[in-house]
Amino acid sequence: MAKADLRANPAAIAQAVEQGIGLFQQGRLDEAEKICSRVLKARPDWFDALHLMALIKLQSGKPGAAYGLLEAALKINPRSCDA
């Protein structure tokens, strides 16, 4: 799905993030990261994509990047117990 399509379609964004979560759970971090990157290019304020990307970065051994992403996610949803 194109970036413009994602920007205009919250349901498509949610579906893409769910696909990314599934890939993450399967250990397919590179594929999950590509999906998250696409979502975040279209909607940089999408909490679930920021949170998932932080988890991907943490699993990939990049805690500094994960921390920055979690900070951004918490600015959007400061009460999230997941983040």
- The first and second tokens of residue 61, run together, are 């051994």
Domains of the chain are: 3-76 (1.25.40.10)
Q: In which band, very low, low, confident or very high, does the pLDDT at 5 lie, cut at 50, 70 and 90?
A: low
- The first and second tokens of residue 2, run together, are 């194109």
Per-residue pLDDT tens for 23-52?
Answer: 999 999 999 999 999 999 999 999 999 999
The arithmetic mean of pLDDT across residues 76-81, rounded, is 87
Question: Is the predicted pLDDT of residue 3 greater than 70, yes or no?
Answer: no
Beta-carbon contacts of residue 83 (< 8 Å; ≥ 6 apart):
47, 51, 54, 70, 73, 74, 77
For the chain, the residue count is: 83
